[in-house]
A and B are shown apart, each in its own frame.
Chain A
Amino acid sequence: MPYKSINVGSEIPTLTKVATTRMLVQWAGATGDFNPLHYEDDFAKAMMLGSPIVHGALKRAWLGQLITDWIGEQGELKKLSCRYRGMDYPRKMKTMEEPHEGETWLCKGKVIKKYIEDNNVIVECEIWVENGKGEKTTQGSAVVSFK
């Protein structure tokens, strides 16, 4: 991805994700976040959330992938931030490998600034995760650098 083609307003290629109960289990195992909010029905109900929710940090990791997929080996991710604006609920598994039909999440972003700093091209982006209804449940920003 040649950075010279990036301009203010450029859109980052959308990254599609499907959160499943299986993914949440894998995430818990890979990170050590065993909060029952993300796997225990009764606990999630007691916390007034209805059912287990997607880890906020998992959505943040999706946004990290949105950027690293986009910049490839040409750029360096310098900053990433996000805030969680809404709950997301995973699809349950139908088979060992396939989830039930349901929601799909879209990770998106666009360039809001581009400038030179210390001989590097700096690009600032707004990034976010949209749920199946098009609502932004996670919003943030990223700063990348190209030599």
Chain B
Amino acid sequence: MVEGSRLTHGLRKIIGTISGPAIFKVEEGAIQRYAQAIDDPNPVFNDIEYAQNSQHGRLICPPGFTGWPVKGEHPVINIISAITRADASLRLVDGGVEYEFLHHIGAGDILIAIAKVIDITERETKAGKSLFINVGTTFTNQNSAVVLNVISTFIGL
């Protein structure tokens, strides 16, 4: 470890850590509540009858919504816990997200989510030496199709 570096040995050991699987269930009411929360009236997210008659045949999720976990926590939560155990002084903030949408997610889907710490790097920022932690999460549906890949970035201040 370079002197003054925040990338401790304990944090380096977390790179490559895998968390999960967690099981997510996608339900109509949850999709509707999500759409209402962001004030999105799109009927494919809100109107069950409209959605059933659409090309999708069911309510589909607004981008980024993956239902609720019914077994296990979101795997990213376990990774964040591991990071804060390795360095309790770190204050983690949401640094952003990248989504790759492969198939629509919709009502009735059962998703399996697995997350992995891709890398942890250190950079000089306005706040001083900061850590950038990239976590990749893959969501696979009940047909074994990967439906969504997510890269979440957390900044450790």
Contact = CB atoms under 8 A, between A and B. Distances in A.
B96 A30 contact: no
Interface size bracket, A side: 20 to 34
- The bracket for how many chain B residues form the interface is 20 to 34
Contact of B38 (A65, A76, A81): A65
17 contacts: A23-B38, A29-B37, A30-B37, A60-B97, A61-B34, A64-B63, A65-B38, A73-B55, A77-B63, A78-B101, A79-B99, A79-B100, A81-B98, A81-B99, A82-B97, A84-B94, A140-B96
Summarize A's interface: helix, strand, loop or mixed: helix
Nearest to A67: B63
A104 interface: no
Contacts of B98: 79-81
B60 to A, nearest CB: 10
- Where chain B touches its partner, the secondary structure class is mixed
Interface of B: 30, 33-34, 36-40, 42, 44, 54-55, 62-65, 68, 94-101, 153
A80 B95 contact: no
Interface string A112-130: 0000000000000000000
A31 interface: yes
Contacts of A67: 63
A114 B40 CA distance: 27
